[in-house]
């Protein structure tokens, strides 16, 4: 069962591994990213940030959708981490009702982005995608760490 989906351009790092893993009472972290799924070096780097008591799975977006929809992931309490708004949107739309909330974490500044809260930089297209998800019933919010107040995208 998916406890939370988080967008974070760093994927798995101390903030996710320590703060969110503990606060959500999850036992599995699913890193969903096409590049990581095919890059052994990036997989090795991500494994270094894994909490000792966590199961870590790294899959492409399409493979993650298939696994979630098949029911094979139902036995786990999962934190799912993606790198981008596009990956989050694809995952949510591909899995139907399995994902009900989206935590927008760190997104690095890029050309055409504006800052939205701490460490969140989004293009107008990304903001529109997040608004559509929100209108479709997904709880979309910015929250860097569990102790921070949730902020809606404005």
- Are 130 and 35 spatial neighbours (Cβ–Cβ below 8 Å)? no
The yes-or-no verdict on residue 17 having pLDDT over 90 is no
The yes-or-no verdict on residue 132 having pLDDT over 80 is yes
Instruction: Please state which architecture CATH assigns to domain 2-142.
Output: 3-Layer(aba) Sandwich (3.40)
Which DSSP string corresponds to 12-68? SSHIIIIIIHHHHT-SEEEEE-HHHHT-HHHHHHHHHTS-TT-EEEEE-HHHHHHHH
- Are 116 and 153 spatial neighbours (Cβ–Cβ below 8 Å)? yes
Q: If you average pLDDT over residues 41-62, what whole number do you get?
A: 94
pLDDT band at 81 (very low <50, low <70, confident <90, very high): very high
Domain residues of the chain, as ranges?
A: 2-142
The yes-or-no verdict on residue 97 having pLDDT over 90 is no
Q: If you average pLDDT over residues 136-149, what whole number do you get?
A: 94
């Amino acid at each position: 069962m998916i406890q939370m989906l988080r967008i974070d351009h760093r994927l798995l790092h101390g903030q996710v591994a320590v703060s969110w893993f503990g606060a959500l009472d999850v036992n599995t972290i699913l890193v969903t990213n096409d590049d990581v799924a095919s890059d052994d070096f990036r997989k090795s780097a991500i494994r270094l940030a894994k909490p000792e008591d966590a199961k870590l799975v790294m899959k492409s977006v399409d493979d993650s959708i298939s696994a979630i929809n098949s029911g094979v992931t139902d036995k786990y309490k999962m934190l799912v981490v993606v790198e981008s708004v596009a990956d989050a949107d694809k995952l949510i739309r591909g899995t139907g009702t399995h994902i009900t909330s989206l935590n927008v974490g760190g997104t690095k500044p890029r050309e055409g982005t504006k800052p939205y809260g701490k460490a969140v930089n989004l293009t107008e297209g990304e903001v529109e995608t997040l608004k559509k998800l929100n209108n479709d019933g997904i709880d979309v919010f910015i929250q860097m760490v569990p102790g921070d107040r949730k902020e809606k995208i404005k």
